[in-house]
Amino acid sequence: MSHIRGRFSKDADSRAASYTASIHYDRRLYAHDIAGSIVHARMLAHQGILTEQEAGTIIGALTEIREEIERGTFQFRPDLENIHMSIEARLIEKVGDTGGKLHTARSRNDQVALDMRLYTREATVEAIAAIRGLQRALVDLAEANIPVVIPGYTHLQRAQPVLLAHHLLAYFAMLERDAARFRDSRKRTDVLPLGSGAVAGVAYDIDRDFLAAELGFDRVSENSIDAVSDRDFLLEYLAAACVCMMHLSRLAEEVILWSSAEFDFIEIDDAYATGSSIMPQKKNPDVAELARGKTGRVYGSLVSLLTVMKGLPLAYDRDLQEDKESFFDAVDTLLATLEVFTGMVATLRVKPESARRAVSQGYLLATDLADYLVKKGEPFRGAHDAVARLARYATENGKTLEDLSLEEYRRFSPRFEEDVYRVTVESSLAARDHVGGTAPGRVRHALADARKTLEGKTE
């Protein structure tokens, strides 16, 4: 709908032009578009399609255009529709007909596919780096609070005692899978589409391996039709982003719960909380709450692009313009959430005493008592039943397990002996001394492994 109107007898309707314009959001691709154009010009000269002088003139002008955009002096014209045409029009303004030669052996279809791959590759690297930052904050918090014991929960009911550090390392593990998903998706992003033309390839003696090497791609696309219509790499990024945001939303939920008066395990730093407009005492976990809400926003970006792609015939269709706006929003949302969570986690204040009080309530050692009976020769199902009845008795009589006398214990199993009082929170933790368990030694080892992961991997 831009100034490419040679086939048409009249200008585009102003409403149609506005409807089809993408410059208000695809301008963020300027650096990627110019980088691709500079390498394309070099390739054209390398192949003798342009002279070295023509390529030099074009490259010099493109460099100036990039500087204009970065200085904020570049004039983005809505009638030029998108970033590609905006840059090309300015190029022709600057160097005349020579600028018009840049588009030789190239279509906007393979040009935009290249831009999006360059952008996504960069966004993937940034996502992995941001994940690493949050992982580092989690490890720091865990290392600073190794002795702290909290209730482990199932069904949001107190279940068994665990180390806080063990709990935090669960999120480290989730984020490690997220980083792996992004690394894996990059393999399929690193495919050069340039040289595919509009649909059938180009009728020039081009060197696609030259382009791939200069732009840092692992390989070139094998099918021109697929190359210009493929957006799987965007879907993969979005899928990885959705899983990562889901993990962040789970962490957000626990920050919200744990900072409430009902749990009181942590305090959120003032910099990551807000007050109430009417209740002066309130300290609201708004950052964490917003992350829960923004998770749905990223999910929506994935569903939006899946819906765009689901019925498209090969090859390029204008529907594919809709791949960008929600994708950019998902990239921004993921990175912002990871970065703000890194700061929030780094400044959380743990309340060990409150956590320990919670551990002392709710009969968290019941499983250990069942294990105690098993080790005395009781079949597990019988031990489970005996301790279940014991816990009901204690509840009905307002007693903790520690309050019960040996006589009371023995009402439920004659296998209980004086050494039952050796079943403690500390013995419960120590008993889980296996890979993946919450025993202090195992958790320290897991923290050391996590630190090695952070220090030893470069993305």
Q: What is the CATH number of the domain that holds 268?
A: 1.20.200.10
> In 3D, which of 350, 386, 382, 164 has the Cα closest to residue 268?
350
Give domain status of residue 7, yes or no: no
Reply yes or no on whether 276 is catalytic. Answer: yes
> Residue 103 catalytic?
no
User: Where do we find the tokens 């086939």?
Assistant: 7
Token pair for 443: 């958790």
Same domain, 253 and 345: yes
Between residues 279 and 126, which one has the greater pLDDT? 126
CB 276 within 8 A of CB 284: yes
Question: Considering only CA atoms, which of 180, 168, 330, 347 is closest in space to residue 251?
Answer: 168
* pLDDT at site 459: 47
Co-location of 88 and 133 in the same domain: no
Query: Average pLDDT of 15-22?
Result: 85
> Half-sphere exposure of 76 toward its Cβ, with a 13 Å CA cutoff?
18
Q: What is the pLDDT confidence band of residue 1, given thresholds at 50, 70 and 90?
A: very low
Catalytic-labelled residue, pool 14, 260, 276, 427: 276
**Does residue 376 belong to any structural domain of this protein?**
no
Average pLDDT over residues 126-136: 98
User: At residue 257, does pLDDT exceed 80?
Assistant: yes
Contact 455, 174 (CB under 8 A): no
The C-alpha angle 259, 260, 266, rounded to 5 degrees, equals 25
DSSP H helices in 271-379: 286-309, 325-346, 352-359, 366-375
pLDDT in tens, 299-347: 999 999 999 999 999 999 999 999 999 999 999 999 999 999 999 999 9
Catalytic pick among 155, 277, 405, 434 = 155
Same domain, yes or no: 89 and 115: no
Q: Which domain holds residue 55?
A: 14-104
Query: Would you place residue 187 in the very low, low, confident or very high pLDDT band (cuts 50, 70, 90)?
Result: very high
Q: Is the domain of 221 the same as that of 283?
A: yes
Instruction: Say whether the peptide bond before residue 315 is cis (omega within 30 degrees of 0).
Output: yes
Amino acid sitting at position 318: R
Asked if residue 403 lies in contact with residue 409, where contact means CB atoms within 8 angstroms, the answer is no
User: Of 293, 328, 351, which residue sits at a domain end?
Assistant: 351
Number of domains in the chain: 2
Task: Read off the pLDDT of each residue in 204-223 and give the average, rounded to a whole number.
Answer: 98
Nearest 5°: CA angle at 274, between 271 and 277? Answer: 150
The pLDDT assigned to 7 comes to 62
245 and 139 inside one domain: yes
> In this predicted model, what pLDDT tens digit does every residue of 46-102 receive, in sequence order?
999 999 999 999 999 999 999 999 999 999 998 898 999 999 999 999 999 999 999
The more confident residue out of 9 and 42 is 42
Average pLDDT over residues 236-262: 98
In a shared domain, residues 56 and 144: no
